[in-house]
Structure 1
Amino acid sequence: MFGKACAASLLGGVCAVVFAPVLLPVAIAWCGLVVGAAAWSAWPRGRWCGGLLLGAGWAALHGHAGLALQLPAAATPAEHALRGRVLDLPHHGERSTRFRFRIDDDAGMPVSLRGREVVLGWHDPVRPDASQGRHALRAGARWSLVARLRPPRGLRNPGGFDAERQALLQGVAGSGYVTAPHRARALGPPTGLPAWRERMAQAIAEQVRGEGRRFVQALALGDTRGLTARDWEDLRALGLTHLVAISGFHVGLVAAVAAWMAALAWRLLPVLGRYWPRPLAAALAAVAGAALYAAVAGFALPTVRTVLMIAIVAAARCTRRRVTVGQALAMAALAVLLFDPLSVLAPGFWLSFAGVLWLVWCLPGTDRHWLAAFLGAQGVATVSLLPLTVAWFGQASRAGPLVNLLAIPWWSLVVVPLALLGTALEALYGGAGRWPWQLAAWCFDTSWWLFGHVARRPFALWWLPQAGPAALVLAVAGVFWLLMPRGGGGRLPALALCLPLLWPARPLPADGEVELLVVDAGQGLAVLIRTRTHALLYDAGPAVPGGFDAGERVVVPALHALGTPVLDRVLLSHGDLDHVGGLAAVRRSHPEARLLAPSGALSMPAAVCRRGDGWRWDAVDFRLLHPPAGQGGRGNAASCVLRITTPHGAILLPGDIGRREEAALLAQDAPGLAARVVVVPHHGSAGSSTPGWVDAVAPELALVSAGHGNRFGHPRDEVVARWQARGAEVLSTADSGALRVWLGQDGLQVREQRLFQPRWWDAAERARATAILSTVKQAAAGPEG
């Protein structure tokens, strides 16, 4: 009744709702639940239909509940005096700290925030002597503080991370930052499991030396705060990210050890068997050990899946019922879907359950030699999970299959047990974990030295362009065909089904045409320009030292998602951090790119941007209009102005020039400024876009790169109105996400990322809908005729 078919039908209903662009209304969701329950109970042959309806209704209700937990999408940022508890390990950066905070559920807190969780940043003030408060934050401690909160809002780009989806999955009501550090007060000492995890992490930091220390923290406690951006790049290139954080395999290992220790105790003390049978004790010990270790990891989804499967097998053992691995997996999936159907939005759900499902289906036998079984399992996991890995992350590790053959046994059977032994001993007596931890770090370092060399080879990581959902379905079917145990009538057709995902079509401009992508980089600028055989990046996006790096998180993933393996040039308009902050990440990803910038704008060698210089790519002309020879510097006035001319019109990128530079360009060649597309100067500030400049450019499309709710108020209303009055359509990345423009034989075309890939949790679209509804209500309430 609650087997594989039930899990499959429930999963189908959940996915049909969760991956739809619009969420089902509450009334329809309740109808689905009622009708589905009736079909399930009264129509045995139609239980699959009942499961679909139950899954759809249940997922829709959870979706509405998740959105209701958040601050209204149209709410403006506001300050609040808050009391609450630091939920997890704070991430201390060079100049800021980021942490999750659960607000107290009492009458003293704002009604809309009671009992909610928010993500806060605590940034260092200008005065260095007042920057120590944030370092006193401890997991599990209660604090009183003042914070400026806003609804969850993220960037939307091709291949980019969906922060709004992540906030929905984590139950985060909003984000913000501490606005009055001098008023922040600790109300109580750290308590609970988060406080214990932080104490253990600190003990490892104090007692272990070397690079392996941060990895021991990750493997023993699930604490990945110490891992650097370079560490994550290497782990992705090696296909080892699944082993660093506490994984399902590690939970199963702990459960096996706990069961073995309980069985040993019952053998040594037979009298215990009078009260509890040995199999029952071993089963309960396995569940307890797995649950405890999963709690240490913060109940990540792979660990929850493993705990549920172990609990189901243990229950069957206690009741003397036979349960296959497939049945246990189905019941675990049912439990996860019933508890949180939105978990299907997380890649961990699919990688976790699909990995076990493929192994069960492809390797059902148990009479194989252990080495053959291990090699077979590794091969099946590599091939079967490739489509999901590419679809979710846009990359695959070429070195992963070989590296995992070494890392899985060495890390999981040597490093992890030593790290856990040290943690257990340290919990019993302070300082007792030193030697196991140090030995674990040494064992890790011996392998990491070798793996690090492999990760830095160009062949290690394979980036793939973004493909559509149909390509994923075909690739999964191809893998199914390829891995059929008895053969499927030839492997070439199976491989052919995988081609649309692994080598998707990349439509590029023809000669004389140009494609432009204004990246949604927040309060900064990064623009990708492509012709038929060349690519130019104009600015690299913002970055904060020790914090968000748009180059790493936004620009580079967008380049890979669009299939841009080679970058010919990187043109930096000027030296401000909101334009060059992401350059280091871009250079690591595309070291072949030639740098071009105003004189003195960069601290590294670069060709000088001068008025009059230019080049020609694929019948498209690129010409620099500013600054004149001899003028340079890092400021806005030195911005490198680029004009791109095609047979179908021109595109103008003016950087952050102001009214003085606009006047100089108008005096120099006003007719030469006309363009069909313009990136609005200086993010739409009031110091640019003068009436004369707007009239001379006279574009059809004006694009603004600005962060949502930025403190500068960009783009200014009067600036937007000025461009609109001249007949231009004005689009902003803050509202539309990344803006992709094509200029060619088919005319001028534009694609807004948020509209092209709609999501029912999209904050910008929900805020837009709220504004429309508010206008309708106001009109309805107004006087007639």
Structure 2
Amino acid sequence: MRTGMLALAVGLLALRFLPELPPGGWLFAGAVFGLMCLPFRSYPLAFFLFGLCWACLSAQSALDARLAPELDGRTLWLEGQVSGLPERDDGVVRFQLEDATARRAQLPQRLRLSWYGGPPLHAGERWRLAVTLKRGRGLVNPQAFDYEAWLLAQRIGATGTVKRGERLSAAVGPAAWRDALRQRLLAVDAFDRQGAIAALVLGDDSGLSRADWRLLQDTGTVHLMVISGQHVALLAALVYALVAGLARLGLWPRVLPWLPSACLLAFSAALGYGVLAGFEVPVRRACVMIAMVLLWRLRFRHLGVWLPWLLSLNVVLLAEPLASLQAGFWLSFAAVAVLAWVFAGRLGAWSWWRSWGRAQWTMAIGLLPMLLALGLPVSASGPLANLIAVPWVSFISVPLALLGTLALPLFGLGDGLLWLAGGSLELLFRLLAGIAAWLPAWSAPALPWWAVVLGALGAALLLAPSGVPLRGLGLALLLPMLCPPTPTPPVSRVAVTVLDVGQGLSVLLRTRNHAMLYDAGPRYGEFDIGERVVLPSLRALGVSRLDLMLISHADSDHAGGALAVQHGLAVGRVLSGEASALAPELQAAPCVDDAQWSWDGVRFTTWRWREAPEGNPASCVLLVEANGERLLLTGDIDAAAERALLNAKRAVQADWLLAPHHGSRSSSSAVFLKTVRPRAVLVSRGNHNAFGHPHPQVLARYRALGVAIHDSVEEGALQLELGAHGGIHGLRSEPRFWREK
């Protein structure tokens, strides 16, 4: 049985690694072949094929349910019901719309919408909305968050921006009740920790600030502030322990067998907590795992601890094969597997404090390969922080928050308990802040697959029982993962990466021993591309220090992420075409006309229009030459600045040209392009941006001159090696079955 279940799990998990889905005919043939294997007792092969075919069919169904290409960018009137708990951040309301319908178009059943300056929305309301719809196209960068995979895993068929709307009916049903409860929780006096209380009770993390998230990430305690398997399992364990304790003391009714009662009540408590939290995918996954563990405890303990783990894995994936696209799925099952590997089958009893301490450091080692493989930061302070924070949240904050929520109808009692819960969370966050300042999180460069495999084997060896030979070899196997090889370009060459930052610009230039960032991406209110995209991409590419950050000018789409980059990495110096207009913390020096320097055989030259007015024409232009091949980075200069550059009699001929001002109509003049004579132009812009970049007339000029166009929207982050006289690589071309082509 275990072999068949393992084969089924492998087939279901294989979906995550497919570059593209097989055609329907192949899936049908695979299913038929699996059936033919059953009479010959080839159960592993049959179960593997069943799992793979079911996962592919489910994924294809989700792909087919996405917004039709002809509706991409169109504005339609549609109707639907608000689901989940809407979020309001910096004047923007973000929410999901279920059962969306339109008169003249077939729409996905689930949409994720944003309403800038929109009115308060509540779960359960029904609205008629004018929405500009978009296909779910995310930013594609080295080891960054894959928004398209997340959308597909949530079965969200499209995103959109609301232009107008009218409410058709008031909120009704359980969703409306949860929304009203959230508003009540956010209104209590709880040391300004109402958002954290709502996260623990309802699974709504929108009340946590960016500073809170950074703190939780640095200390490896993110799992504590959202309803995860740990919270649901804790409540189930407390109920089970209560019934078991009453039975041991002889206080449980003898007419009710205590073990079945304990299992039933524990699962009921977990299920009730899950419903309160909205029964999202992580909570459903936790409830399935708890059900399997309780069933194992009730009837199947003789079969060992790995059976419920494997059965839970298969049940979760059969119910939702796309769960394997989410990092939380891998981490939750890996965490349980690590604990089972460490504690199952050990001889002798351990004291509770020894078991608790061992659980923390073994989890840190056991999950390390998974965290690095998923491109997630690793908290060096995680074991210490969790050693304190897990029992604190589990036995103080969560019980107070749940009891306070239940007692809200009782005048004063519920508010008092929630006040205590907020105080406990405030003390915890202050303690975590001290730990984070001592040991912040660490992000490793992107790892080759062999380093991950060796690291996983090394972690398994280190955590094996003491009698297993060659345990010390595990540490050596971990080293390639902790100190991965970082490729660097040869002398006289530059590794150029035009990051996919939406409507903005950020270009990384790396020579043999130096690194430079040209612009740092945009920032929109609290949404900082520098923090969320640029920094993780730099770390994934092995950059730990910037010798220079050159901000072309002060517009937010170029300079918005600069502070986040400076806070996250050591930066030698900062230059800018509008140094005085940047944040004083950057300590930027002005870009000097005709400044030149050389790094590792690569020559850099800057230019700035001295008579330029403020804004785009003041952009600092950078010319990079490596082994006879040239790249011209132009910022947002317009046609007037282009004429000034040509009049300066500089050698501006370049093989690669960054499209001035994202391809704006006011730039890329014909005389400028004929003088530069690029063989390719690089366009950095946002999908369906409000400015219409790049302009059709500009694209026509490029094509008339035979210039190849490489667009970040179509190709993702763009990578080339200047000096090799080769081609360019767009990360979107890397095969992923869920990725928009």
Q: Please state which band the TM-score falls in when normalised by the shorter chain.
A: over 0.9
Measure, in 1, the Cα distance between the counterparts of 2:284 and 2:553: 49
Structure 1: segments with no counterpart, 5+ residues: 125-133, 766-785
Measure, in 2, the Cα distance between the counterparts of 1:283 and 1:322: 17
SS at match of 2:81: strand
SS at match of 2:726: strand
Letter of the 1:23 counterpart: L
Q: Is the contact between residue 598 and residue 632 of structure 1 (CA under 8 Å) also seen in structure 2?
A: no
Question: Post-superposition shift, 1:402?
Answer: 1.3
What are the superposed Cα offsets for residues 407-442 of structure 1, whole Å, 9 maximum, x if unpaired? Answer: 11111121111111112222x546532122111121
> Residues 568-717 of structure 1: matches in 2 within 5 Å?
568-590=547-569, 592-599=571-578, 600-604=580-584, 605-628=587-610, 631=612, 633=614, 635-669=615-649, 672-717=651-696
- Shift of the 553–259 alpha-carbon distance from structure 1 to 2, 3 Å rule, reads same
Question: Post-superposition shift, 1:66?
Answer: 0.8
Measure, in 1, the Cα distance between the counterparts of 2:230 and 2:163: 43
Tell me whether 1:348 sits opposite 2:345 in the alignment.
Answer: no
- Shift of the 575–453 alpha-carbon distance from structure 1 to 2, 3 Å rule, reads same
Measure, in 2, the Cα distance between the counterparts of 1:370 and 1:340: 36
Structure 1 counterpart of 2:5: 7
Structure 1 counterpart of 2:191: 210
Structure 2 counterpart of 1:771: none
Structure 2 counterpart of 1:247: 228
Structure 1 counterpart of 2:705: 726
Deviates more, 1:309-318 or 1:203-212: 309-318
Among 150, 159, 172, which residue is 2:134 paired with?
Answer: 150
What are the superposed Cα offsets for residues 714-771 of structure 1, whole Å, 9 maximum, x if unpaired? Answer: 2233323433443432201010000011113x3334221111x3211111x1xxxxxx
- Shift of the 492–188 alpha-carbon distance from structure 1 to 2, 3 Å rule, reads same
Among 429, 453, 458, which residue is 1:448 paired with?
Answer: 429
> Residues 84-163 of structure 1: matches in 2 within 5 Å?
84-104=80-100, 109-113=103-107, 116-124=109-117, 134-163=118-147
Q: Is the contact between residue 191 and residue 419 of structure 2 (CA under 8 Å) also seen in structure 1?
A: no
What are the superposed Cα offsets for residues 635-658 of structure 1, whole Å, 9 maximum, x if unpaired? Answer: 111111111122332211111111
SS at match of 2:497: strand
Measure, in 1, the Cα distance between the counterparts of 2:226 and 2:283: 10
- Shift of the 501–430 alpha-carbon distance from structure 1 to 2, 3 Å rule, reads farther
Letter of the 1:225 counterpart: S
Measure, in 2, the Cα distance between the counterparts of 1:577 and 1:315: 56
Structure 2 counterpart of 1:43: 40
Measure, in 2, the Cα distance between the counterparts of 1:248 and 1:48: 30
Measure, in 1, the Cα distance between the counterparts of 2:251 and 2:588: 78
Structure 1 counterpart of 2:485: 505
Question: Post-superposition shift, 1:168?
Answer: 0.3
What are the superposed Cα offsets for residues 373-405 of structure 1, whole Å, 9 maximum, x if unpaired? Answer: 112222221111000011113421111111111
SS at match of 2:374: helix
Deviates more, 1:58-67 or 1:342-351: 342-351
Question: Post-superposition shift, 1:273?
Answer: 5.8
> Residues 254-333 of structure 1: matches in 2 within 5 Å?
254-259=235-240, 274=255, 277-315=257-295, 324-333=304-313
Tell me whether 1:759 sits opposite 2:740 in the alignment.
Answer: no
Tell me whether 1:420 sits opposite 2:377 in the alignment.
Answer: no
Question: Post-superposition shift, 1:281?
Answer: 2.7
Q: Is the contact between residue 631 and residue 657 of structure 2 (CA under 8 Å) also seen in structure 1?
A: yes
What are the superposed Cα offsets for residues 607-644 of structure 1, whole Å, 9 maximum, x if unpaired? Answer: 0113122332222222112222x6452x1111111111
Q: Is the contact between residue 234 and residue 456 of structure 1 (CA under 8 Å) also seen in structure 2?
A: no
Among 75, 79, 83, which residue is 1:83 paired with?
Answer: 79
Tell me whether 1:485 sits opposite 2:483 in the alignment.
Answer: no
SS at match of 2:111: strand
Question: Post-superposition shift, 1:321?
Answer: 7.3
Question: Post-superposition shift, 1:591?
Answer: 5.2
SS at match of 2:206: coil
TM-score (norm 1): 0.89
Measure, in 2, the Cα distance between the counterparts of 1:266 and 1:281: 10
Letter of the 1:538 counterpart: Y
Letter of the 1:66 counterpart: A
SS at match of 1:747: coil
SS at match of 1:360: helix
Deviates more, 1:324-333 or 1:69-78: 69-78
Structure 2 counterpart of 1:223: 204
Q: Is the contact between residue 577 and residue 608 of structure 2 (CA under 8 Å) also seen in structure 1?
A: no
Question: Post-superposition shift, 1:322?
Answer: 5.1
Deviates more, 1:95-104 or 1:613-622: 613-622
Q: Is the contact between residue 18 and residue 60 of structure 1 (CA under 8 Å) also seen in structure 2?
A: no
Structure 1 counterpart of 2:66: 70
Question: Post-superposition shift, 1:263?
Answer: 6.7
Measure, in 2, the Cα distance between the counterparts of 1:465 and 1:507: 10
SS at match of 2:648: helix
* Number of residue pairs aligned between Structure 1 and Structure 2: 736
Q: Is the contact between residue 601 and residue 632 of structure 1 (CA under 8 Å) also seen in structure 2?
A: no
Deviates more, 1:704-713 or 1:722-731: 722-731
Measure, in 2, the Cα distance between the counterparts of 1:325 and 1:565: 43
Q: Is the contact between residue 375 and residue 446 of structure 2 (CA under 8 Å) also seen in structure 1?
A: no
Letter of the 1:285 counterpart: L
TM-score (norm 2): 0.94
What are the superposed Cα offsets for residues 143-198 of structure 1, whole Å, 9 maximum, x if unpaired? Answer: 22211112111010012111110110001010001112xxx222223233333333
What are the superposed Cα offsets for residues 209-229 of structure 1, whole Å, 9 maximum, x if unpaired? Answer: 324332222122212111111
Question: Post-superposition shift, 1:487?
Answer: 4.7
What are the superposed Cα offsets for residues 53-87 of structure 1, whole Å, 9 maximum, x if unpaired? Answer: 11111111011011011113464311222222111
Letter of the 1:208 counterpart: D
Measure, in 1, the Cα distance between the counterparts of 2:351 and 2:434: 32
SS at match of 1:112: coil
Tell me whether 1:18 sits opposite 2:2 in the alignment.
Answer: no
Question: Post-superposition shift, 1:25?
Answer: 1.1
Q: Is the contact between residue 519 and residue 738 of structure 1 (CA under 8 Å) also seen in structure 2?
A: yes
Measure, in 2, the Cα distance between the counterparts of 1:518 and 1:316: 53
Letter of the 1:102 counterpart: E
